[in-house]
Each structure stands twice: as C-alpha cells, then as structure tokens.
Homo-oligomer: A and B are copies of this chain.
Amino acid sequence: MENQFFDEKLSENYKNIPVSFVRKILNVAGKKEFISFAGGLPNPDLFPVEEIQKSANEVLKQSAKSILQYAGSMGYHPLREWIADRYAQKYGMKITPEMVVITNGSQQAIDVLSRLFVNHNDGVVIEKPSYLGAIQALSAYQPKFCHVNLENDGANLTEVEDWFMDDGVKLMYAVPNAQNPSGISYSSQKRKQLADLLTCYNKFFIEDDPYNEVYFDEEFPEPVKKYAPENVAWTGSFSKMVAPGLRNGWVVLSPELVPHFDKAKQATDLNPNNLTQHVLHYFLTNNDLDEHLNKIRKKYAEQCQFMLEMIDKYLPEEVGATRPFGGMFIWLTLPEGVSSNNLIERTLKQGVVFVPGNSFFTDGKGQEHIRLNFTNANFPDIEKGIKIMAMALQEMLVGQH
C-alpha cells in the first residue's frame, strides 16, 4: 500500500482543520519537570473530590440499572431542570428545561452548532484572537472567517456591523466572559449593542460561556442571550465549575432550534454520558455549590493577581498584559518585532511553556502575543516561570539592537 493512501482520501473538510498547538504543547507541559502556563486546566486542588466520590456512590446505589442503560439524547431531565432554574433565576430570563440540551463539554455544543449552520463559504464573524477549539470546530465546515478586532471591552462593533451588512455572513462566535485566550470581557453596553445588531441584521450568535461562574470581584454582566433570545445559542460548562473529567456542558437554545440540534447531535454519539450526568446532578443538589464556587473564585483571583504582579515586576515595561475580571488566562502583547514562537524556543530549554499567540488567529498572525494560564501553577512556579520568560525576552531584545 502506498503511503499516499490516506492523503488522497482525506476530506476537504478535515484538511481545513488547523492543528492544535495547544494540544501538542500539552504533551510537553504534562511532564512533571516543566513549569506550564500552557493548557487551560482548572486547578485540581479545588476539585470537590470527596463530594464526587459520595455522589457516584449514591447514584449507583440508587439507580444503577437505569444509569447504565442508553438514555435520552437531550440529557438527564433533572440536570436540565437544575440548569434552567439556576440561570433563569440569576438573570431573570425565561429558560425552561426543554430549552437546555446536555453536551460533552461546551465543545460539543460548538461542534454541533457548526454542523447545524455552516455551509462551505458561509461567513462566520470571529474575534482576533479567538478560542482555538471553536476555530477547529467551525473550520471543519469550511466557512469564510470574517475577523473583527477585540478591544478591552469586547469586539469592535463597527467592524461587526460592517460584516453583518453582508448577506453571506450567517453567524458570529464569541466568548463574552473572560475570553480564552485574551481574558477580555464584554462591557454591559456592548452586549446590548451586539444584541441589537443581531436582531436588526437577522444573524445568529454562538455565545460561548464556559467561565460564567468563574469571576473574581463581581458577577459578569448579563448575557447577550437575554437581549436577543431567539438569535443566540448560549453554552455553559461544568468543566470549570466542578470538574472537566466529567465532560458535561450544556447549551440553551430557542425552542424551535432544539429538535434540529438534537437530531444533529444524535448522529455524533447517540446520547451524553449518563453516569456523569447523574453524578453531577447529585453533587449539585446535595452540596452548597456557591460555597464551592467562592473557593475557586478566590483562588483564581489570587493566582491571577500574583501573576500580574510578577509580570509587572519582571517583564519589560513595553510588554502589555490584559487585566481579566475572571477566567483562567492573561494575554500578553510583546514589543514590536519580537515573536512568541522564537521566545518559546528559548523558554522551553529552561523548562517553561506557554502558548504562542498565533494559535488563536486563523490568518497566521498574532506572533506578538502570548496566552498565559494562571490557574494551574503555584506561586513559586509563577514567579520562577515569569523570571525565565523575562530573561529570555531581554536576550532577544538585546539581540535586536
């Protein structure tokens, strides 16, 4: 058999999916001896280990036979109720369990929505930078990406409106709360303005919201979904609230979209994991979730604050850094002419790893940026890692002159 066997046969859709540098680097970063600011791993010290053990024990004691059987493709109804109740109450929105579908992390929601809406060459508005997992999921359907700049309070809405005037543009994807990779959150005003644009131009919006509960000082503003309910699919995730190993997220859809989403999702894997849905539901209804979340919020705020202090202390003044209100990432902007791809070659040799910015751009740009994760390293490692980055950067800057 020739080596070209597969190369000849692979689909155009597949070939359009960009490689995940993040995934590649996670293989390196997973090794013990590295200080890793790469990846997007929650802090495992905050996993509610005992409570999950108890939950698994109890649900398997109570109803193992039904848990171990095939189940509904839309998810476990009591879990859908719990989600609907919490967010209907939090934001004063109309959300019924029938509008909530459980997915394998919010990633599956993005993938299924891409399948549902994207034809080859459909215009899809995304921010520069954008979440790599969404770029990959969308790319598999060969859209035309329409870029808008991401400012400190959200996307540039003039650019968004320019794209929306184009009939070939079908939808927009964004992470309005503590975006991965930038850490930027949309202002309340921009959310309302974006909602107006969506309804005015009749466009669809994937509001990806895995960090909703992971804020620092105060709750994030109300979701875009509240102001344009029909136009928005709003995702959520238990990965950051509870634990990613359970692989459960959800999406809130308008009722007419639910049967379509359900049908598209069935074809991918029949139904979401039944055991972990039950475990989650037991955990959520038998523990004080907000007490648990407050621990995460406090810890991540401290880790973020400390990393920002180290950035201010050690990195050259010309390096810009976002000041996140939540989430798991800080976004650096390097001095002109310095490439993060060159920087990482140096820091890797000294055991420090991060994700170079161009992973989050679909046009190959973004080399002057760096994504730093602050949730999965302790204080001494944060200090040591930033110091090593600073030294490597100094060497490069000296070399430039």
Contacts and interface: CB of A to CB of B under 8 A. Distances in A.
Nearest to A263: B17
Interface in A130-189: 133, 136-137, 139-141, 170-171
B270 A107 contact: yes
Counting every copy of the chain, the complex holds 2
A276 interface: yes
A90 B231 CA distance: 53
Q: How large is the interface on A (under 10, 10 to 19, 20 to 34, 35 or more residues)?
A: 35 or more
A234 to B, nearest CB: 16
Interface string A116-140: 1111001000000000010011011
SS class, residues of chain A in contact with chain B: helix
A52 B44 contact: no
A196 to B, nearest CB: 14
Given A266-B20, A266-B23, A13 B115 contact: yes
B245 A70 contact: yes
A263 B112 CA distance: 16
A57 interface: yes
Contact of A199 (B1, B115, B116, B268): B1
A69 B243 contact: yes
Given A49-B64, A111-B267, 8 more contacts: A11-B119, A13-B141, A47-B69, A56-B60, A68-B246, A108-B268, A111-B269, A115-B140
Interface of A: 1, 3, 5-6, 9-14, 17, 19-20, 23, 39-42, 44-45, 47, 49, 52-53, 56-57, 60-61, 64-71, 73, 103-105, 107-108, 111, 115-119, 122, 133, 136-137, 139-141, 170-171, 199, 202, 204, 230-231, 239, 243-247, 256-257, 260, 263-264, 266-276, 279
Ordered nearest first, which 8 A-B pairs have the shortest CB separation? A68-B243, A245-B274, A104-B269, A136-B267, A68-B245, A49-B64, A108-B269, A53-B60
